[in-house]
Amino acid sequence: MERDLVLADGTIFHGEAIGANVRTLGELVFNTGMSGYQETLTDQSYNGQIIVFTYPLIGNAGINRDDYETIQPTVKGVVVRETANVTGNWRAEMTLSEYLQEVGVPGITGVDTRALTKKLRTVGTMKAMLVDHATEESVNEIKHTVLPTNQVLTSATKTPFPVPGTGRKVVVVDFGFKQSILRELTKRQCNVIVVPPKTTASEIKHLDPDGVLLSNGPGNPKDVGYALPMIQAVQGKIPLFGICLGHQLFALANGADTFKMKFGHRGFNHPVREIATGRIDFTSQNHGYAVDPASINRDQLMITHEEINDHTVEGLRHREYPAFSVQFHPDANPGPHDADHLFDDFMDMMSTFKQQGKGVTAHA
């Protein structure tokens, strides 16, 4: 069956339908990863977005039960150059198209994703629609549709839940977290409690955690302003670690500003330099917003990492409190594991803070 991808500027790409037989509208973005399409599709950071995969063949390993980052994806659609109809992995339980159909996500195959990606790099991300047959009304509908701004609330848990362990007690504030974050914490025997995004500082303190992790998540960090008072009240009292959206919220809570990037960072090959040591880590990233370096109060926050290609702020550390954040995904599933040592740094920070006595400011 034929299917069309319609862009907000009127450009139309023709292809064949895969996945669910539904119309969809969302923000069109591209991902440069060469693997890990299942983890990407189930990453809540893609809430409301149509993903263009730049790697030419997608689906050859099928879909399995082990690689989900969440059970119910919130991605709006999938665009690929070629879809594998035969899987070549012993863990595969279904094909990509069968999975998309099962979870109600439409896709399109046979698209010149190289040309499409070059367009998005030139003009930036834009709204787009997947339809059976493009019409002039399709373009008008795209132009007049206002995309939702409540992605975090539709991605995150509504009620707290525990992930039992025998070690440090860590509260994960869920803004749309990836399961791989929990895997890294449980690998270190942490006793984890996941809480909703609107959890207050007093509720978190009542849980008496050794540390607080601000998770990744979708959308504009300025739409999550309700979390800033919690961060401001927690930092200095409990060791804090922010990842991706959590990094941006940590920056906003300390007076910095964020901005929307032209086409964002979405892939698993982004080189990041640790400024103090010169160490280069290749990282997994998925974000369309970044922290404005000119807005950072350097007496309060220190820039710890930068992206080599465009010098995006990739890491921050508070100069007084035991609190730090990174823009990339140190859990890196999928992607390289160069930066997973940051979870060990978080463990060390919690131990140091506890040894020095709670309520006493400490440098990590």
Q: Give Cβ neighbours of residue 32 (< 8 Å, ≥ 6 apart).
A: 54, 55, 266, 267, 268, 269
Q: 217: annotated binding-site residue?
A: yes
Q: 286: annotated binding-site residue?
A: yes
DSSP E strand stretches across the chain: 2-7, 12-19, 24-31, 49-53, 57-58, 77-79, 82-83, 106-109, 126-131, 161-163, 169-173, 191-195, 211-214, 240-243, 258-274, 280-291, 301-307, 313-318, 323-326
Q: Give Cβ neighbours of residue 25 (< 8 Å, ≥ 6 apart).
A: 76, 127, 128, 129, 130, 141, 142, 145
Q: 120: annotated binding-site residue?
A: no
Nearest to 25 by CA among 182, 166, 134: 134
335 near 329, Cβ under 8 Å?
Answer: yes
How far is Cα 62 from Cα 98, in angstroms, rounded to an integer? 9
The DSSP bridge pattern shows strands 169-173 and 191-195 to be: parallel
346 near 322, Cβ under 8 Å?
Answer: no
Q: 45: annotated binding-site residue?
A: yes
Catalytic residues, by residue number, are 244, 329, 331
83 near 51, Cβ under 8 Å?
Answer: no
- The DSSP code for 228 is H
Q: 26: annotated binding-site residue?
A: no
Residue with tokens 């050859």: 60
Q: 289: annotated binding-site residue?
A: yes
How far is Cα 345 from Cα 154, in angstroms, rounded to an integer? 31
How far is Cα 162 from Cα 86, in angstroms, rounded to an integer? 39
Residue with tokens 């795209």: 142
Residues making up the annotated binding site for L-glutamine are 45, 217, 219, 245, 248, 286, 288-289
